A and B are shown apart, each in its own frame.
Chain A
C-alpha cells in the first residue's frame, strides 16, 4: 500500500514536468510580455529602457533558458512577483486559494451528500414519481449553462427579492464576532456554492442511482434479505458500498472542474478566489501568476485521481495494490 502510494507519487513527477513545460510554452506564446504593464503606467518609458529591461529580466533568452530559470526558482519555493498586483505570488495566491477552497469544499460536500441521498432513494424506488422527478432534475442540472443560471439567480434573488447579495465575499458593515461574520459570509456563499455544486451533483446522482440499481439485482442481496436483514441495512450496508466504485472515479476526476470550473462562477459573482485571479491574470498578461495557478490546478487533478485510486481499495477489498 505504502509502496503503491510512493510509486504513484513518483509517477506524478514526470507528468507534472510535462504539464509545466506545456503550460510554460503556451503562456510564453501569449501576445504581450510583463513589460507591457510598465509601458502603460509610465509615459517616460523609452524604447531603450524597454530593450534594456528586457535584457535585464532575461526576456530575450531562448525559451528553454527561461523555463529552467523559472523551474529552478519554482522548486525553491519562489513563485515569482505579480506585475499586476505588485506583490509576491505566494502572498497573492494564499488568501485566494483559501477562498476557493471554502467555496469548492462546501460545494463538494453539498453535491456529494445530496447526490448520494437522492441517488439512493431513486434507486430503491425505481420508476416512482420521485425517481422521474430526480432524473429530470439531474438532466436539468448538467445541461443548464452555469453562467446563465447564475445570472438568472442573481436577477431573482438579488434584484427582485433582495434576499441575497449579488456578488462579492462579505459586507463592509459586519458587527464583530464570530457568528455575525459567519452568517454574513454564508449569505455570500449560497448562490456560488449552489451553482458550483449543481452540475456535479446532477451527474453524481445518476451514477449513484444507476450503479445501485445494477447492484440491487445481485444474488447476494437476496441472501441478505432472506436472512432477515432490514431493508435499510441491505441497501446502506451491503449494496451501497459495492455500488460506489463508478462514483468514486467520477468524483476523483471532477476535482479539476471544482477548482477550475469555479472560474466562471467566481467571475460572475466577483468572488475573489483562484479562478477569478486566473482569469484576471490571463487577461492582464500576469505570466507568473497564471503559471502558478495552472500548476496548482494540475497538481490537484493528479491528487484527485490518486485519492480515487486509493478509495477503490477501501471500497472493494478485492482490489490490491502491488
Chain B
C-alpha cells in the first residue's frame, strides 16, 4: 500500500521513489472527506436543495404568489381533478368544491405535490422560492462574515499591541451580546428584506471566526516561513493575506459551512417570529408562521417547510463535521 506524504518530497533518496506515491494535501483531505459517509450524504442533500430551490421553478407550473381560491388547502397529491367549471349562478358555493358529485367526469391534471395553503398557493413552489431566500441568505452571510471575521482576526494577531486589544474587545462585546434579541432589535430598525437580513446577520456574526485566525496568526507569525517572507521585504498585508490566511483555511472552511447553517437557522427563526422576511416573499421561516394557525386542518403546511429547514441544517452540520475530520491531522491513519 502506498504511503501518503503530504509534504514535497524532493529530498527523498532515489531508491525509495518507486514505493512512495506523492499525494497533495488537497487530495488527502478530499479522500478523507468522501470516506465520511454522512458528510457525503449531507453534500448530496445540500446539492439537491440548491437544485430544488434554484432549478425547480423552471420546471414547475405554478407561481409562488399565484392565488387560486378553488384549490385552497388542497391535500398533497401529484394528480388531481380539475375544478368544476364555474356555474353561472352567483353565490354558488358548490362550484368552488373541486370534488363535487361529477368529480369523476372532470379531467385529471397535475396536482400539488406538497399541497396548497390558505390562499390556494402551491406549497412546493413556495418552498422553492423560500429556499432561494433562505439558502441565499445562508451562503452570502456566511461567506461575508467569515471573510471579514478571519481578516480581522489575522490582523489582530499579526499586528498585536493596541490593534489587538481594540479588536479583541470588540470580539468580547460581540460574544457577550445575546444573539437572537439583538437580531430582533436590528430587524425592527432596518426595513425587512433579503439584503437587510444578510446585512444584520453579517454584522452580528462578524467576529465569529476572528478568534480562530487570531490564535493561528499568533503562532504562524513566529514561524520560519514568515520570517523568510519578512526578510525578502513582504509587508504586513502580504504576510496576512498570502501567508497567514491561506495557512488557516482549513478551520475556516469548517466555520463557513457551520456558519451557513447558523445563518439559515437565525433567518428562519426571525422570519418565523414575523421579524425577518415579510410575506408575500416566501421564506421557509415565514411559511411556518403562516401555517401555524392551520395546523389542525392542513398539517402539511407545517410539515414541509420544517423538513426543508431540518434537512438543510442537518446536511450543513454533517458537511462541517466531515470537513473537520478530514482536516484533522490526528486522523491520518483512518
Chain A positions within 8 Å of B, measured between CB atoms, are 14-15, 18-19, 22-23, 26-27, 29-31, 139-140, 142-145, 147-148, 151-152, 155, 159, 253, 256-257, 259-261, 263-264, 267, 278-279, 282-283, 290, 293-294, 297-298, 301-302, 305
B89 CB, min distance to chain A CBs, angstroms: 38
Select A294's contact among B38, B178, B186, B292, beta carbons within 8 Å: B178
What are 17 A-B contacts with C-beta separation under 8 Å?
A: A14-B169, A18-B169, A19-B176, A23-B182, A31-B188, A139-B318, A143-B313, A145-B272, A145-B313, A148-B302, A148-B305, A152-B303, A152-B306, A257-B179, A260-B181, A264-B180, A278-B181
For the complex, count residues of B whose C-beta is within 8 A of A: 39
Docked pose: A305 CA to B177 CA in angstroms: 13
Docked pose: A27 CA to B179 CA in angstroms: 15
A307 CB, min distance to chain B CBs, angstroms: 14
Using A143-B313, A145-B265, A145-B309 as known contacts, say yes or no to A282 and B185 having CB atoms under 8 A apart. Answer: yes
Instruction: Enumerate chain B residues within 8 angstroms of A260, measured Cβ to Cβ.
Output: 178-181
Please determine whether B179 and A26 come into contact, CB atoms closer than 8 angstroms: no
Please determine whether A30 and B314 come into contact, CB atoms closer than 8 angstroms: no
Instruction: Enumerate chain A residues within 8 angstroms of B189, measured Cβ to Cβ.
Output: 26, 29-31
Please determine whether B306 and A282 come into contact, CB atoms closer than 8 angstroms: no
Select B173's contact among A18, A26, A31, A143, beta carbons within 8 Å: A18
Docked pose: A290 CA to B273 CA in angstroms: 17
Instruction: Enumerate chain B residues within 8 angstroms of A148, measured Cβ to Cβ.
Output: 288, 302, 305-306, 309-310
Scan residues 285-331 of chain B and give those whose CB is less than 8 A from a CB of chain A: 288, 292, 295-296, 299, 302-303, 305-306, 309-310, 313-314, 317-318, 321
Using A145-B268, A152-B302 as known contacts, say yes or no to A282 and B184 having CB atoms under 8 A apart. Answer: yes
Instruction: Enumerate chain A residues within 8 angstroms of B318, measured Cβ to Cβ.
Output: 139
B305 and chain A: residue at smallest CB distance: A148
Select A147's contact among B178, B269, B321, beta carbons within 8 Å: B269
Please determine whether A298 and B176 come into contact, CB atoms closer than 8 angstroms: yes
Instruction: Enumerate chain A residues within 8 angstroms of B299, measured Cβ to Cβ.
Output: 155
Select B177's contact among A19, A147, A267, beta carbons within 8 Å: A19
Docked pose: A43 CA to B82 CA in angstroms: 52
Docked pose: A198 CA to B310 CA in angstroms: 14
Q: A22-B173, A253-B175, A279-B184 are in contact. List 20 more A-B contacts (CB 8 A).
A: A15-B172, A15-B176, A26-B186, A26-B189, A144-B313, A148-B305, A148-B309, A151-B302, A152-B306, A159-B296, A256-B178, A256-B179, A263-B184, A263-B273, A267-B273, A278-B184, A294-B182, A298-B177, A301-B177, A302-B176
A300 CB, min distance to chain B CBs, angstroms: 8
Please determine whether B181 and A301 come into contact, CB atoms closer than 8 angstroms: no
Docked pose: A9 CA to B296 CA in angstroms: 51
Using A139-B314, A139-B318, A264-B269 as known contacts, say yes or no to A30 and B173 having CB atoms under 8 A apart. Answer: no
Q: Tell me which of A148, A256, A259 has the highest count of chain B C-beta atoms within 10 A of its own C-beta.
A: A148
Q: Which 7 A-B pairs have the closest CB atoms?
A: A148-B306, A260-B178, A143-B314, A297-B178, A143-B313, A301-B176, A256-B178
Instruction: Enumerate chain A residues within 8 angstroms of B169, measured Cβ to Cβ.
Output: 14-15, 18
Docked pose: A278 CA to B179 CA in angstroms: 13
Using A143-B317, A260-B181 as known contacts, say yes or no to A19 and B268 having CB atoms under 8 A apart. Answer: no
Scan residues 248-292 of chain B and give those whose CB is less than 8 A from a CB of chain A: 261, 265, 268-269, 272-273, 288, 292
Please determine whether A140 and B314 come into contact, CB atoms closer than 8 angstroms: yes
Docked pose: A259 CA to B180 CA in angstroms: 11
B193 CB, min distance to chain A CBs, angstroms: 15
B94 CB, min distance to chain A CBs, angstroms: 30
Please determine whether B173 and A155 come into contact, CB atoms closer than 8 angstroms: no
Please determine whether A301 and B175 come into contact, CB atoms closer than 8 angstroms: yes
A136 and chain B: residue at smallest CB distance: B38
B127 CB, min distance to chain A CBs, angstroms: 14
Using A15-B172, A294-B178 as known contacts, say yes or no to A27 and B185 having CB atoms under 8 A apart. Answer: yes
Select B181's contact among A30, A139, A145, A263, beta carbons within 8 Å: A263
Report B137-178 CB contacts with A as 1/0, cut-off 8 Å: 000000000000000000000000000000001001101111
Instruction: Enumerate chain B residues within 8 angstroms of A22, measured Cβ to Cβ.
Output: 173, 177
Docked pose: A30 CA to B178 CA in angstroms: 18
B288 and chain A: residue at smallest CB distance: A148
A27 and chain B: residue at smallest CB distance: B185
B180 CB, min distance to chain A CBs, angstroms: 5
Docked pose: A297 CA to B182 CA in angstroms: 11
Instruction: Enumerate chain A residues within 8 angstroms of B179, measured Cβ to Cβ.
Output: 256-257, 260
Instruction: Enumerate chain B residues within 8 angstroms of A27, measured Cβ to Cβ.
Output: 185
Using A15-B173, A152-B302 as known contacts, say yes or no to A264 and B181 having CB atoms under 8 A apart. Answer: no
